[in-house]
Amino acid sequence: MNITIKKGEKMKTKRSLIQLYLFIAILLIALPTIAQTQQDTLSYNIETTDGNSYQGKIIEQDDVEIIFQTNNIGNITIQQADIKKI
């Protein structure tokens, strides 16, 4: 069995693959932006072990500390060990 593909069909297939790759690339670039926007809309109330309470957004977080953007005093860094409740 011999299958032949015409030159025009090869070009259409190649163009379709390029369009697919471009779409995937744009999607991969846009996803972190979409995720960041969604995270920014969440507001938290953090209560620390010394009795202070802060309201705002989590900017960055790891096992050791949280960088928190408060509504009143700006960005602060809170150690995870000092957090009583989020």
pLDDT at 9: 66
Give 59-69 pLDDT, tens digit per residue. 999 999 999 99
The larger pLDDT score, comparing residue 29 to residue 44, is at 44
Cα distances from 70 to residues 8, 46, 60, in angstroms, run 60, 10, 13
Q: Report the predicted TM-score, pTM, of the whole model to 2 decimal places.
A: 0.51
Top pLDDT among 1 and 75 is at 75
66 closest CA partner among 35, 75, 43, 40:
75
**Nearest alpha carbon to residue 43 among 72, 80, 65:** 72
Tokens of 42: 């969440």
Q: What pLDDT is attached to residue 79? A: 95
Q: Is residue 82 classed as helix, strand or coil in its secondary structure?
A: helix
